[in-house]
Amino acid sequence: MSHDETFDPYAKIIRMANQIGTFFSSKPHDEGIAGIAEHINKFWEPRMRRHFFEVMDAGGEGFLPNVREAAAHIRRPAPSVGGAGAGAPPSHAPQG
């Protein structure tokens, strides 16, 4: 685990999404956006997608532009009921 991931539980989700975004950046724009969304929809479990959208809902800070654009095509999982951290904003979310 990297030093940043020790303090930001969302750092790994951001890093993973950006790796996918980087891979698909070599494709034509629309194909790349669709590829990012398809990959995340197919291979990320609902908990991971929930964390993804927690970051997106807080402004998407840290995500590559193509990842932010692909978010419109990623299936949003049902909200978590109970559990640790349910409803807690990401540590880098604007407070106020």
**pLDDT tens, residue by residue, 62-81:** 999 999 999 999 999 988 77
pLDDT > 70: percent of the chain? 77
Model's pTM, two decimal places?
0.77
Alpha-carbon distance of 82 to 94, in angstroms, equals 23
Q: What confidence category does residue 9 fall into, taking pLDDT thresholds of 50, 70 and 90?
A: confident
> What pLDDT shows up at residue 83?
52
Torsion sign over Cα 5, 62, 66, 46: positive
pLDDT at 95 > cutoff 50: no
Helices marked H in 25-74 — which ranges? 29-43, 46-57, 65-70
pLDDT at 39 > cutoff 70: yes
